[in-house]
Amino acid sequence: MEKNDFNVTPEKLIGKTVSDVAVTANAVVIKFTDSTYLDIYLDNSAQLLKTSTNKLEG
């Protein structure tokens, strides 16, 4: 993995409180108290770490 392939934007996480964490062989999912999720996972086809965020509404 190249040094600049993975960018973190800590400003978007400041002030959020973690409510749960799940760890598997290929992924880490962090749930925040505002129902936002941060997923860090291995893309097997490209052999790269990727991230995504989503928020459950309801």
Residue 16 forms part of a structural domain: yes
Q: How far apart are CA 31 and CA 3, in angstroms?
A: 27
- What average pLDDT does the chain have? 81
Residue 18 pLDDT: 94
* Domain extent at residue 39: 10-55
Residue 47 forms part of a structural domain: yes
Residue 41 forms part of a structural domain: yes
Q: How far apart are CA 19 and CA 35, in angstroms?
A: 9
Residue 50 forms part of a structural domain: yes
Residue 35 forms part of a structural domain: yes
16-42 average pLDDT score: 92
Total of domains in the chain: 1
Helix (H, G, I), strand (E, B) or coil at 9: coil
